Amino acid sequence: MNPDASAVDALTDTVSAVFMVVGALMSLAAAVGLLRFPDLMSRMHAATKPQVLGLFLLLAAVGLQLRTWWVWPALFVAWIFQVLTVPVSAHMVGRAGYRTKHLHKELLTADELEAVVLKSADKKAADLRAKGNGRMPGEKRKTDDDGGSSVSV
């Protein structure tokens, strides 16, 4: 029908092919980062960011290849789920990693969380000794609010 149709078709194919290769490369970037970075935290960067871009590119390639508009919302929903969940799981793993000292201190140029965590850990230990039960993990703001009160119990 349209003389340009085949040209557009070829262009779509090329773009989606490029997207697919780059998307696959992002997976490889994640793997290389996992292997080469020295500690858990930097590996987390490698695991999260290329994953999001890689999935975006691959879903875009799917959308281009299928050539129907109604797949785009479904692909968008799939990507949004990914965007919403990946930072959360990375944060949870990173938090656990920091607390369990999976960190190479010599690789840090600054650490402004250490003092807070140490204070919270001391406080928690004191609470455990004093009351025989622990606080919920992560309630470190309590240390600022009722500082000293439970030590005297």
Partner 1 sequence: MEIVLTMTAVILSLAAAGAIVRIAVGPSLLDRVLASDVLLAIIGAALCIDMAVNRHLNNLMLLVALSIIGFIGSVTVARFVADRREQPNES
Partner 2 sequence: MSRRRISLRQELPLLVWLVFVWGALWQDFSPGNLLFGALIAVVVARLFYLPPVELGGRFSVLRAVPFAIVFLGKVVAASFQVLYLAVARGPKVTNAVVAVQLRSHSDLMVTATGHVISLIPGSLVVEVDRSTSTLYIHGLNVRNGEDIVNLRKEVRDTEAALIRIMGTKHELAALQQEVGA
Residues that bind partner 2 (CB under 8 A): 25-26, 29-30, 32-33, 36-39, 41-42, 44-46, 48-50, 52-54, 56, 70-71, 73-74, 76-77, 83-84, 86-88, 90-91, 94-95, 98, 107-114, 116-117, 140-141, 144-145
- Assess 96 for contact with partner 1 (CB under 8 A): yes
Q: 10 Å Cβ neighbour count for 125? A: 11
- In this structure, how many other beta carbons lie within 10 angstroms of the beta carbon of residue 34? 13
Which contiguous run of DSSP H or E holds residue 42?
helix 40-66
Identify whether the C-beta of residue 43 lies closer than 8 Å to the C-beta of residue 37. Answer: yes
Residue 67 DSSP label? -
104 vs 43: CA distance, rounded Å: 12
Residues forming contacts to partner 1 in the complex (CB under 8 A) are 13, 16-17, 20-21, 23-25, 27-28, 30-32, 34-35, 40, 43-44, 47, 51, 54-55, 58-59, 61-62, 64-66, 71, 74-75, 77-78, 81-82, 85-86, 88-89, 92-93, 95-97, 99-100, 102, 124-125, 128, 134, 137
